[in-house]
Amino acid sequence: MAVSVKTDLRARVGSARDQGQRPTCLAFAASDAHGVSRNLSVELSPEHAFYSAHQRAGTNPTRGAQLTEILQVIQRDGQVPETDWPYLPVLPTKIADWKPPKTFSTFYLRASAPVYLSWNSAVQQIDNSVPVLVTLRLSDSFYEPNADGVVDQVGSQTGDPNRRHAVVGIGTGMYGKQQVLLVRNSWGRSWGLSGYAWLTEAFVTTRLDNLTVFIGDPNVRSH
């Protein structure tokens, strides 16, 4: 059974990227949501966002960044293109060696705003062509979308608070009688439909943590 698609913003973003073993899903999701919201033709650097968030917070980069710091980085410091600071599959052995390049070409700044925490709010934003940064508590079914690329509620599974993850909502549709949300993941093209999957309302509503959109004037400043 195929998904009946209502909105699909995949044409505004490139191939799904792969965070590897690092805890950088939020940096990837925020970078992609930021880029799509601006209709950029270049990818933004999750490495820069992740580094800057940990610098702001003074936290250990072997752990995930916090949403507040990531959003502050994008709004106040800006993000650089992926080509300015490509993603590192692993951190240097000495964290002190983890430093940005000396110069950047451009910084892209974007304000953000929380969205009312509900399924309908997420659907409404995406149907208005606004990508949504989604943070979830995962369960086992998320790891293996079905043959139609759908992740559904399985039995009494609920989200595990120790398995938090961030994705970008970029599409809506129907799967049979269920509404579904198309998300872009950061686990490479081998997950789901070349890095994307449809999450059912039943799956999302029992696991949802935060919804955020990027708004405001698309300020750009050169270094």
pLDDT of the residue at 14: 83
> Over the stretch 146-190, which tens digit does the pLDDT of each residue have?
999 999 988 877 888 899 999 999 999 999 999 999 999 999 999
Q: How far is CA 150 from the centre of its chain?
A: 18
Report, as an integer, the average pLDDT of 98-103. 91
Band (223; pLDDT cuts 50, 70, 90): very low
Side chain identity at residue 186, one-letter code? S
CA distances from 108 to 53, 87, 99, 146, 205 (A): 15, 17, 20, 37, 32
Beta bridge partners of 215: 111
CA distances from 67 to 10, 64, 113 (A): 24, 9, 12
Band (122; pLDDT cuts 50, 70, 90): very high
Domain harbouring 86, CATH code: 3.90.70.10
pLDDT of the residue at 218: 55
d(C-alpha 214, C-alpha 111), whole Å: 6
Domains held by the chain: number: 1
Band (217; pLDDT cuts 50, 70, 90): low
pLDDT of the residue at 70: 96
Q: Which domain holds residue 70?
A: 4-222
> Over the stretch 67-80, which tens digit does the pLDDT of each residue have?
999 999 999 999 99
pLDDT of the residue at 220: 58
pLDDT of the residue at 216: 72
Q: Could you tell me which of 7, 12, 1, 69 has the C-alpha nearest to residue 35? A: 12
pLDDT of the residue at 215: 87
